[in-house]
Amino acid sequence: MQRGSGSPRDFWEREQGSALRSVAPAPGRTAPARGAPAPSRGRPPQSVTPAAPAAAPVPAGPPARVGGTVAALVVAVLTLLPPLLGAYLGVWFVLLGCNVPGIVLGVIALSKVPDADEVERYLRYTWACNLAYAALCVPVVLIVLFVLAMALVLGY
């Protein structure tokens, strides 16, 4: 699959502040003005005036990295599930291990949306908190599930 200048990926991966660019005609040719009839191939055009460059359209989507920031915040909120599971099972102290820093940093990253450098910085912090929380949470969840399975097997 070829990626042209109009592909969705190019739209979202552009630098912030850049605009869509129109395709330039081949070298040695001039583009016909809008609304003007295209010159026929049999005879040369009598007078071709170059068209004024059209204003580039402004992108209508969100700025770059908003999707990644929202994804990091959603993952940070989803990390609340293991502590809530622990509280449901009666192990209330696992609520102390909530990923509060990841959620707070995700919200801060979304509040800094116009400033791309700040968004990138807080986005990295949010993902670091999410990954550290996952690495620390997996053993706790496995132990809780093992105790639950043993209780079910032994009939308690």
Convert the pLDDT of each residue in 128-138 to its tens digit: 999 999 898 78
Q: Which domain holds residue 99?
A: 66-154
Q: Say if residue 30 is in the same domain as residue 76.
A: no
The per-residue pLDDT for 85 is: 84
Q: What percent of the chain has pLDDT over 90?
A: 29
Q: Say if residue 92 is in the same domain as residue 141.
A: yes
Q: Give the number of domains in the chain.
A: 2
Sign of CA dihedral 122, 124, 125, 126: positive
Q: Say if residue 50 is in the same domain as residue 92.
A: no
Q: Say if residue 137 is in the same domain as residue 81.
A: yes
Of 42, 61, 80, which closes a domain? 61
Q: Say if residue 38 is in the same domain as residue 74.
A: no
Of 24, 43, 61, which closes a domain? 61
Q: Say if residue 110 is in the same domain as residue 56.
A: no
Give per-residue pLDDT as tens, 105-118.
999 999 988 888 88
The per-residue pLDDT for 130 is: 93
Q: Say if residue 48 is in the same domain as residue 70.
A: no
Of 46, 61, 76, which closes a domain? 61
Q: Say if residue 52 is in the same domain as residue 74.
A: no
